Structures are given as C-alpha cells and as structure tokens.
Amino acid sequence: MIARVLIAIGAAVLAGLLALPGPVWPLLPAQSLEVEVAAMNAVYGRLAAIEGGGGSQVANDRGDSALQALAGMDVDADELAVLRYRMRNFSSALELVFLWRLADDPEMLHSATIPKPRGGDQTFALDQLPNWQGRVVEIGFGQIPTAMQTPPGTPFPPFSIESIRLESMSLSNALRAQVDSMSALRPWAQRSINSLGRELSEAPRRSTLVPIVVALATFILLSLILLRRRALLPVLAAVAVVWLLVDWSWQRQLLAQNRLTERTVSTAPFADVDLAGVADRFRAWYRQRSEAPKVLVAAPSAYTTYRMIWHLLPIDAATWNVALGRVDQLVPGTLILVPADLVDRVVAGTPSDSTLTPQRSRRVHVLDEWQVIEVVGGGVTP
Amino acid sequence: MSVLLAHLLPLLAGSALYAALIERPRRLDDWLRVLGYGYLIGLALVAVLVAVLSPLPQSVWSTLWMILVPVALVVAIAAWWRPPADRFATANGPLTHLAEPAWSRWLLLALAAWLLVRTMSIGTEVEARDLFAWDAWATWSVKAKVWYLSNVWLPFVDEATWLGDPDSRYLAARHYPNGLPFLEVWFVSANGSWHVPAFATLWPLLWLAAIAIAIGQLRALSLPWWLAATATAVWASLPLINTHAALAGYADLPLTIVLGASGLALARYTVGHGLRHLLLAVALALLLPGLKLEGSLWLLLVLFAALVAALPRKRWLLTGALTVILLWTLLLGLHLPLPALGWVEAGWGYLRAPGVGIDQVLTWRSVGPEIAQAMLLAPNWHLLWWLSLPLLLLTWRGWAQRSALSWLCLGMMATILGIFCFTDAAVWAQDLTAMNRVLMHLTLLWVCWLALLVSDWLQARGSAAPVRQPLPGSGSSA
C-alpha cells in the first residue's frame, strides 16, 4: 500500500509541476542578467554602496519614499520574464513598486506593486504584467508608504538592496514564483473586502491554486484507482495537508498585516491624518457660526470626498454631486468645502445648473489647500 | 469596562433565553450552542429594544441595561428549572453517530491552538484600527455616527428632500436596514464616546459565536467531535470570512452567521428535536431583512425550507407547487408584496422590486470566467468550492435525507448564480465586488451541510468508517 501511495504522490507532484504557469524545460534559467545595483541612480532619497560589496543602502532623511532607476538597458522582455530581488530590512510600512520603460514609448513609465522582500531571494514572474513586452530600456524600484494604511510623511529606516537579476523562465523559476506568490505579503487594500489576491495588481493572470488543485486531484484519482476502498484515509490526509498548506500561507499574510497595522497605528490611527486634521479645524470653525448649515464636499476623488465627510460627521455633510443639476435649490448659507485647485468645479462664470456663479458664492475660510465657499443670495429660502 | 458589559449583557440575556426556551445545557457542546445562539439572540433583543423604545442615542446603554439585567435574571431562573435536554434524543428515536477515534482529542487541541492564533490575528486588526473598508465608513456606520454624535435619531432622506430640509441627513444607502447601526449606537453609548473598536469587536465576536454555533449544532446533529470541529475550522479559516471579521463594518458576515444559525436550527427540527427549533429557525430568519436587503430573499428561502421540513410527507407536493409557481411566474407573471422589497413583479425576462430600485430585464450575461475567478482561482475560499462538487457527487444519495438543508443550500446557490448570470448584478461579478460577498452568505450553511452529508456517507459506508452506534442512555422524548 505504501508503494502505491508513493506512486500517487509522485504523480501528483509531477502533475502539479506541469500545471505551473511556465515551461517545464529547461530546468534552470538559460539566461540571466545581473543588474548592477551600485550603478543605479537615486531619483528620490539616497543610494549608497555598502562597503565590501553586498549591494547598496537606500535611505531618505527627508521624505517617506525613495526611487532608484537604471537607464540605458536593452532587455528583451519576452526572454527575461523573471525578476529576482533580494533586499534586507525592508520596512513593513513601505510598498515596493517595480517600474520600467519600453523602447517603443520611452516617455511612458509603467509600474506594478510587487511583493515585499522578506530577506531572502524573492522571485516574481514579470510575464503576468500586461506591459512587460518588447524591449525594456530602463528599470527601477520605488518605495512608497503602503496605500491607505501608512500615513504620508512617515519616515522609513534604511534598507539595503543586495541583488537584482532578470532571468529567463524555467522550471526552477516557475516553481520559485509559485512559492513566493503563495507567500507574498499582501497588505489590506480596499479591494480586500470584496476579493483577495488583487491587492498588488488589478487582475492577476495566474492563480496559485491551480497547480495545487491539479496535484491534489491527481493524487485523489490515482489513490482511488490504486487503493480502491482503502483510499479514504490517504485522500483525507492529502486534503488536510493541502488545506493546511494554503491556510499557512494565509496565516503568514495575516501576521505580516498585523505587524504593519501595529507599526502604522503607533504613528496615526488612520492613513489620512492630514484630511482628518483639516476636518477637525473645519469643525472648530463651523461651531463658532451661529447657524449649522449644510456642507457639500467637492474633492478630487470619491475616496477623498467620502473620507472627508466621514471625518466631518456629525456635521450635516454630503458630496457636492448631490447638488449637480439642482444648484438653484441650494439654500443661502450652505457651505462648500473644496480644494483650491478644484474651485472651478464649483464656481464658474458661465451660468449652469451644476455650478455656482461668482455672484452666488463667496470664499469665507481657508484651511491649508482647502477653501470654504458659502452660497449667497438667490436660491430657495429655507 | 462598560463596553465589555455591553457585550456580556446581551450574551447573558440571550443565553438565558435560549436555555429557557430551546434547550438547557448539560455538556460542553450544549454550552457552545447556548453561548453562540445566546449572543445572537441577545444582540437581536438589543436592536429591537433600541428600535421600539428609541431612547436618546447617547442614553441607549444607560436606559437598556436596566431592562436587560432583570430579563437576564428572570429568564436564567426559568432556564434553571427547565430539565436539561438530551441532544441526541429525538421524536424519531435516538440518533446514531460515528464513534470518536482516539486521535480526536489531539486534533481538537491542535484546532484550539490554531483558533487562538487566528483569533489573535483578527483581534489585533479590530482593536488597532479605525474602520478601513470603504462601505464600512462610507455607508454602514454613517447612521450610527450621526445619531450618536448628534444625539438625535435624525432621518436619512433623498437628495432633493435633504437640500430643503435642515432636520434631515443625506445618505445614498439610506434604505439599508438599521439593525447594525442600532447595535453600533448601543456599544458606543456604553463606551461613552465615539470609538470604533468599541463596536468593531462585534465582528470577531460574531465569528467566534458562529464557531460555537456550528460545532454545537453539528454535535447535536450527531457528528463526532473531530468532524464537527474540522468542518467548523474549514469555515472559520476561509480568508474572506477572516477578512470580514478583521475589517469590521460590513453586514455580510453578520448576515452569514444569522442565516447559518437559522439553517442549523432548521436541521435540528428535521431530525426530530422539536417544534421549538423550527420556531427558532424562523425567528432568526425574520432578523435577516433587518441586517441587509438581501436578507429578504434569504428569508423567503428559509421559509420555504421550513415548509419542506414541517411537511416532510408533502415534500413532492411542495416541489410540485414550487414548480407551478415558477411556471406561473415565467408564463403569466407574479405580483407579490415582500418586506423591504415592496411590490415585487417578476415574469419571463423581467424583475422589478421598487423598494430597492430593482428594475431588471433578465437576459443571459456571460460571467462564467468571473465567477470561476471569484470562487475557484482567487485566494478567497481556500479549496472550498473545488472540493464541494466532488463531495456533493459522492454524497448525492444523502441529499434527500437532509431535504430542508439541501433545498436551502441549493436554492441559495441557484439564486446567487441566477442573479449574477441574468441581471445587471453581472457587473458586480465582472469587477469582483459583490459576487464574493453574496456567496459568503451561503458559506456557513454550505460547509455544515457538506459535513452532515459526509457524516451520513461515512455512516452508510460503515466498514471503513468508525462504527455506527446509538448513544448509550439516549431517551426518546424530544
């Protein structure tokens, strides 16, 4: 029976390898390009070579982000479709972004968030990125505060880039990419509540589950054929092992997210502290007024608009979109909170049912880059 | 301290009510059911009291605790006098069950350790952060924050009304039910100030309550500890479930748990545990529309499954009646008032529910790849949906034995797939937004149903499985 179970395990492993998104031959990468880290240019932050080799150290004493780039490359994206990188002491509060330019459109900068480095070599299959194609003339790495989690302005401790390699796809690289993708640390994103796995990119082209399921299905099928009625226990054990493997990868992500949360929350309760600060000062100014008018928020994005409204509550606030098409119904005294560079979305010289005229509006307060505009005259009497 | 009491008081009052009205606990798994259901019942009681009595929002805690304490005491005394029930005794005779293997105890210890780690991970997120997920702060908690901080139960109205009415508030999702906002007000009023973790802890606690309910009910349905605990751990480990417990604020997890608790109570009734379990199932199902609009739809399905359970000999008659209703709807159209949905009109190629603004032309939408991505390829559900099909095929002979749950689970799955394949909701499948959250509603019930089918299959298989045997000392009264 043990021999038959071993046969089933062997076949399952083989089937799982065949199901990997990549060629099974060659076993090792045929091409490899070592990117000289010391030759990279620090676009933001500092990049200093570590004495005695071992890569370069990245730091930024004044900002919350950094960017390193290497121009003058000539890489065939189809040939070198695997990125391998090793960085040490990478802050949990940072997001790692890979950037590249293509020869046929050098003005266009492509970017993708890639898994955070965890100390050892990290392998990422670039062929899953839609714009990794043609000839690549420049690559770079950016480090930015983790979106919607790390408050902007949070300094990060120095970290080192030890090695960067571009390699061709092979069985070993496909396997490494699979393992690293399963254990990739993906911080919560707004998408997480709806579907996981899209934290790093819009729609991942490959599923890490497919090779695992193929291997498991092969094992179950062969067990049923070879062991018949004695297959129950091996099958149950295989399902349990695979479930634990997948769940272990998920638990690691949860723990990594815990570390990020603890670190960032020790700095600020939420990432948009700057917005909350504006809301606090607006509220203090608002309380001094004799009346409590309605407030409309016009911000550059829906996210900023609704976050501002959330911070303003319980003030009677809503999005400016509510007034679109019915500006004539705005009661005099209604306040509009809008960033200075978006005032023309709210006030325009041409009469319209979706903008106020200069005669019907006046600026009554300024809060950093935000302005408070009051509706005056006309409209409906409350 | 008050926040802790705000969780404990509903737990005690609800547990006492469950013990007095449904079953008094005797063994560990009985206690799991009492505490799990007790928490749900207690919270429902709080929400109903807030809705009915409407004390000032900032006085909700100080007013209601004085009502809940005597209720808990009186009902606990009543529960004390009630004789403890034998969970394996049914009106149809004692349940048979699989023998507990020797390694079961080690498995349970391992699962308990796993649960501790997972609870700490989830708890860390809830305790540390403000609301994170979009609709948590843009939709679900807006009413609670406005009511509590303004200390007035202000109405939420549409845009045009709001612009001319200084005493109302605007919220696009104003028609969403108030169940969760009422509970949030209860917790923050106990805290004495607006503090998100004061109410966000509700989500991981509900997740723990669901674990207690699932293990407890599966045990009462005669599953051995190892199978009941493994099935529950399967559900509790699902990444999207964990995400909703950790990123508190959405109504989907509470809806999932109340629906699951209702379905499992129904399963108890179907094995002959007594009418009170049917009433509990219906009572819990009636809470669903108060949590989320989709709850109305699931309420209908639970009521139909309850009918199937209550009239087992008329199962085929009911199937025939449902077929006639479906044919009637398709050929002649149906016009029906439903809670929260309004006068629903349905027929060949159209569906209208004015209460929630649904006016749909029903045509086939090609969303197969997106559904596969949501259910199978993305790391949302581990291997749940991959394993479901082979397990269902393996155990298909047992579907009829669990007819009420089979109806409910397959009916929900068909409804979900129908909604995403035939209505404009296809957009939410394409962008992977609501698809997974609606699927989530089904998961607790689905996993427990699969566990029951597997248990039945193992019992029927006999020889290779642990021995099928009646419990010693089982009575025959329900």
Q: What is the DSSP string of B222-258?
A: T--HHHHHHHHHHHHT-HHHHHHHHS---SHHHHHHH
Average pLDDT, chain A: 90
As given in the structure block, the two tokens for residue A223 are: 């067990």
Q: With contact defined as beta carbons under 8 Å apart, do B342 and B179 qualify?
A: no
Contact state of B159 with A326 under an 8 Å Cβ cutoff = yes
For residue B230, what pLDDT is reported? Answer: 97
As given in the structure block, the two tokens for residue A236 are: 């149950």
- Is the backbone peptide bond immediately before A152 cis, with ω within 30 degrees of 0? no
In whole angstroms, give the CA distance from residue B137 to residue B156. Answer: 16
Contact state of A230 with B234 under an 8 Å Cβ cutoff = no
As given in the structure block, the two tokens for residue B202 are: 């509700």
Neighbouring residues of A121: CB distance < 8 A, sequence distance ≥ 6: A84, A85, A86, A163, A176
Confidence grade of residue A290 (pLDDT, cut at 50, 70, 90): confident
Mean local confidence (pLDDT), A320-339: 92
Q: B369-372: long-range contacts (C-beta < 8 A, 24 or more apart)?
A: B370/B429, B370/B430, B370/B432, B370/B435, B371/B417, B371/B420, B371/B421, B371/B429, B371/B435
The alpha-carbon gap from B415 to the nearest alpha carbon of chain A, in Å, equals 19
For residue B321, what pLDDT is reported? Answer: 85
Closest CA to B395 of B379, B410, B413, B380: B410
Lowest mean pLDDT, pick from A22-31, A296-305, B192-201: A22-31
Q: With contact defined as beta carbons under 8 Å apart, do A181 and A115 qualify?
A: yes
For residue B29, what pLDDT is reported? Answer: 92
Among all chains, which residue has been given the structure tokens 């507990």? Answer: B100
Contact state of A190 with B133 under an 8 Å Cβ cutoff = yes
Confidence grade of residue B465 (pLDDT, cut at 50, 70, 90): very low
Contact state of A265 with B129 under an 8 Å Cβ cutoff = yes
Contact state of B129 with A257 under an 8 Å Cβ cutoff = no
Element of type H or E holding B469: strand B468-470
Confidence grade of residue B272 (pLDDT, cut at 50, 70, 90): confident
Positive or negative torsion for Cα A327, A375, A340, B167: negative
The alpha-carbon gap from B217 to the nearest alpha carbon of chain A, in Å, equals 23
Contact state of B163 with A213 under an 8 Å Cβ cutoff = no
Mean local confidence (pLDDT), B358-368: 83
Segment A86-118, tens digit of pLDDT: 999 998 889 999 999 999 999 999 998 898 888
Confidence grade of residue B252 (pLDDT, cut at 50, 70, 90): very high
Neighbouring residues of A237: CB distance < 8 A, sequence distance ≥ 6: none
For residue A251, what pLDDT is reported? Answer: 96
For residue A202, what pLDDT is reported? Answer: 59
In whole angstroms, give the CA distance from residue B47 to residue B58. Answer: 15
Cβ neighbours around A15 below 10 Å, total: 18
For residue B84, what pLDDT is reported? Answer: 74
Segment A130-170, tens digit of pLDDT: 889 999 999 999 999 988 888 888 888 999 999 999 999 99
For residue B466, what pLDDT is reported? Answer: 43
Higher pLDDT, B289 or A24: B289
For residue A205, what pLDDT is reported? Answer: 66
- Is the backbone peptide bond immediately before B339 cis, with ω within 30 degrees of 0? no
Neighbouring residues of B3: CB distance < 8 A, sequence distance ≥ 6: B187, B190, B191, B198, B201
Element of type H or E holding B470: strand B468-470
Q: Give chain A positions within 8 Å (CB) of B135.
A: 193
Residue type, A184: A
Nearest-by-CA chain A residue for B161: A329
In whole angstroms, give the CA distance from residue B126 to residue A79. Answer: 45
Contact state of B130 with A246 under an 8 Å Cβ cutoff = no
The alpha-carbon gap from B262 to the nearest alpha carbon of chain A, in Å, equals 25
Closest CA to A255 of B246, B109, B440, B380: B246
Higher pLDDT, B129 or A80: A80
Could you give phi then psi for residue B415, rounded to 5 degrees? -65, -45
Nearest-by-CA chain A residue for B439: A194
For residue B472, what pLDDT is reported? Answer: 38
For residue B356, what pLDDT is reported? Answer: 67
Q: What is the DSSP letter of B407?
A: H
Contact state of B137 with A198 under an 8 Å Cβ cutoff = no
Contact state of B160 with A230 under an 8 Å Cβ cutoff = no
Alpha-carbon distances of A78 from A17, A164, B380, rounded to whole Å: 21, 18, 31
Is residue B125 packed enough to be buried (19+ CB in 10 Å), middle (13-18) or exposed (0-12)? Answer: buried
Confidence grade of residue A289 (pLDDT, cut at 50, 70, 90): confident
As given in the structure block, the two tokens for residue A248 are: 């272990």
Best mutation target among B103, B115, B141, B159 (most A Cβ atoms within 10 Å) is: B159
For residue A379, what pLDDT is reported? Answer: 47
Q: With contact defined as beta carbons under 8 Å apart, do A196 and B239 qualify?
A: yes
As given in the structure block, the two tokens for residue B475 are: 């009575």
For residue A380, what pLDDT is reported? Answer: 44
Contact state of A269 with B129 under an 8 Å Cβ cutoff = yes
Segment B6-56, tens digit of pLDDT: 999 999 999 999 999 999 998 999 999 999 999 999 999 999 999 999 899
Helix (H/G/I), strand (E/B), else coil: B11 = helix
Res B308 pLDDT > 90:
no
As given in the structure block, the two tokens for residue A128 are: 């899953």
Confidence grade of residue A351 (pLDDT, cut at 50, 70, 90): confident
For residue A118, what pLDDT is reported? Answer: 83
Q: With contact defined as beta carbons under 8 Å apart, do A309 and A317 qualify?
A: yes
Q: With contact defined as beta carbons under 8 Å apart, do B181 and B7 qualify?
A: no
For residue B43, what pLDDT is reported? Answer: 97
Confidence grade of residue B476 (pLDDT, cut at 50, 70, 90): very low
Is residue B154 packed enough to be buried (19+ CB in 10 Å), middle (13-18) or exposed (0-12)? Answer: middle
3-state secondary structure chain A: CHHHHHHHHHHHHHHHHHCCCCCCCCCCCCCEEEECHHHCEEEECEEEECCCCCCEEEECCCCCCEEEEECCCCEECCCCCEEEEEEECCCCCEEEEEEEEECCEEEEEEEEEECCCCCCCEEEEHHHCCCCCCEEEEEEEEEEECCCCCCCCCCCCCEEEEEEEEECCCHHHHHHHHHHHHCCCCCCCHHHHCCCCCCCCCCCCCCCHHHHHHHHHHHHHHHHHHHHHHHHHHHHHHHHHHHHHHHHHHHHHHHHHHHHHHHHHCCCCCCCHHHHHHHHHHHHHHHCCCCCCCEEECCCCHHHHHHHHHHHCCCCEEEHHHHCCCHHHCCCCCEEEEEHHHHHHHECCCCECCEECHHHEEEEEEECCEEEEEECCCCCCC
Contact state of B124 with A270 under an 8 Å Cβ cutoff = no
For residue B262, what pLDDT is reported? Answer: 98
Confidence grade of residue B468 (pLDDT, cut at 50, 70, 90): very low
Q: With contact defined as beta carbons under 8 Å apart, do B388 and B449 qualify?
A: no
In whole angstroms, give the CA distance from residue B229 to residue B103. Answer: 13
The alpha-carbon gap from B267 to the nearest alpha carbon of chain A, in Å, equals 26
Segment B89-105, tens digit of pLDDT: 777 777 777 788 889 99
Higher pLDDT, A63 or A216: A216
pTM score: 0.92
As given in the structure block, the two tokens for residue A292 are: 């409590």
Res B339 pLDDT > 80:
no
Helix (H/G/I), strand (E/B), else coil: B348 = coil
Mean local confidence (pLDDT), A47-54: 81
Confidence grade of residue B431 (pLDDT, cut at 50, 70, 90): confident
Q: Give chain B positions within 8 Å (CB) of A313.
A: 142, 145-146, 149
Mean local confidence (pLDDT), A271-283: 92
For residue B464, what pLDDT is reported? Answer: 39
Nearest-by-CA chain A residue for B248: A193
Best mutation target among A194, A354, A380 (most B Cβ atoms within 10 Å) is: A194
Res A381 pLDDT > 60:
no
Res B136 pLDDT > 60:
yes
For residue B340, what pLDDT is reported? Answer: 67
Percent of chain B scoring above 90 in pLDDT: 65
The alpha-carbon gap from B25 to the nearest alpha carbon of chain A, in Å, equals 32
In whole angstroms, give the CA distance from residue B185 to residue B61. Answer: 9
For residue A204, what pLDDT is reported? Answer: 61
When CB atoms are compared, the residue of B163, B376, B379 closest to A330 is: B163
When CB atoms are compared, the residue of B121, B134, B432 closest to A255 is: B121
For residue A243, what pLDDT is reported? Answer: 97
Contact state of A193 with B150 under an 8 Å Cβ cutoff = no
Q: Give chain A positions within 8 Å (CB) of B163.
A: 294, 322-323, 326, 329-331, 380
Lowest mean pLDDT, pick from A332-341, B177-186, B302-311: B302-311
For residue B292, what pLDDT is reported? Answer: 93
Closest CA to B236 of B36, B88, B95: B36
Cβ neighbours around B183 below 10 Å, total: 23
